[in-house]
Structure 1
Amino acid sequence: MKRKSGPITKNMIFMMVIYSILGMAYAGVSLTLETQTIKMGESIILICTVHGIAKINPDVTRQFAKGSNGDLLCYNGHITQTSKYEEILSDGNKFGLMINNVTESDVNSIYQCRYRFSTVKQMIGINEMNFEYGPTANTTFIEFNNYDNTSFEIQINFTKIFPVPMCSAQMKNTELQFKNTSIMEERIFYKVSFILVYVDGDQCGTDLEIICKVGRSSHPIKTFKPFQECKCTIPLLILTICGVVLIGFILLVALLMVYKRRRKQKACTKSKNKSETTTDNADEEAFL
Structure 2
Amino acid sequence: MNRMFVYIFMMVFAVDKVSTSASWNLTTLPVSFGKDVILWCYMGEKKENNFSKQQTDLRQWTGGQQYDLLCMDNKCLNPFKYEMLTRNNSQDFGLLIHNLSESDLDCQYTCSCGFSDFTKNLSVEPNHVMSLPANETTITNGKNINNGYLKIEIMLDKVNPVPHCSALFKGQFINETTVTVMRWYTYHNDVRVIYNFPVDDIGCEGRLQILCTLVYRNVTIFDEDIDMCQKEEASMLIMTSLAIGFSGCVIILSICIWLTKRRKDQFGVRCWTNGKKKQMESKIVNQVQLLTPSEKYHHEKETSTMIDV
1:38 to 22, 25, 31: 31
- Residues 68 and 158 from structure 1, CA distance in 2 versus in 1: closer, same or farther, beyond 3 angstroms? closer
- Are residues 1:71 and 2:64 paired? no
Residue pair 1:63, 1:75 contacting (<8 A) in 2 also: yes
- Residues 53 and 183 from structure 1, CA distance in 2 versus in 1: closer, same or farther, beyond 3 angstroms? farther
List structure 1 segments (4+ residues) > 6 angstroms apart after TM superposition. Answer: none
Aligned to 1:209: 209
Structure 2: distance between partners of 1:68 and 1:120: 17
Residue pair 1:183, 1:192 contacting (<8 A) in 2 also: yes
Aligned to 1:271: none
- Residues 42 and 67 from structure 1, CA distance in 2 versus in 1: closer, same or farther, beyond 3 angstroms? closer
Runs (5+) with no aligned partner, structure 2: 49-53, 235-309
TM-score between both structures, scaled by the size of structure 1: 0.64
Percent of paired sites with the same residue:
23
- Residues 194 and 51 from structure 1, CA distance in 2 versus in 1: closer, same or farther, beyond 3 angstroms? same
Aligned to 2:132: 133
Alpha-carbon shift at residue 226 of structure 1 (Å): 4.8
TM-score between both structures, scaled by the size of structure 2: 0.60
Residue pair 1:29, 1:51 contacting (<8 A) in 2 also: yes
Alpha-carbon shift at residue 221 of structure 1 (Å): 1.7
Q: CA RMSD in A?
A: 3.5
Runs (5+) with no aligned partner, structure 1: 1-10, 234-288
SS of equivalent residue, structure 2 residue 137: coil
- Residues 202 and 179 from structure 1, CA distance in 2 versus in 1: closer, same or farther, beyond 3 angstroms? closer
Aligned to 1:22: 16
SS of equivalent residue, structure 1 residue 42: coil
Residue pair 1:146, 1:226 contacting (<8 A) in 2 also: no
Task: Spell out the pairing of 1:273-284 with structure 2 (5 A cutoff).
Answer: none
- Residues 66 and 58 from structure 1, CA distance in 2 versus in 1: closer, same or farther, beyond 3 angstroms? farther
Aligned to 1:222: 222
Structure 1: distance between partners of 2:65 and 2:139: 36
Structure 2: distance between partners of 1:68 and 1:159: 25
Structure 2: distance between partners of 1:227 and 1:73: 56
Structure 1: distance between partners of 2:106 and 2:162: 18
For the pair shown, which has the larger CA radius of gyration, 1 or 2?
Answer: 2
Structure 2: distance between partners of 1:180 and 1:69: 38
Q: Which has the higher helix share?
A: 2
Alpha-carbon shift at residue 141 of structure 1 (Å): 1.4
Structure 2: distance between partners of 1:75 and 1:63: 4
Alpha-carbon shift at residue 31 of structure 1 (Å): 0.9
- Residues 182 and 70 from structure 1, CA distance in 2 versus in 1: closer, same or farther, beyond 3 angstroms? closer
Structure 2: distance between partners of 1:31 and 1:68: 18
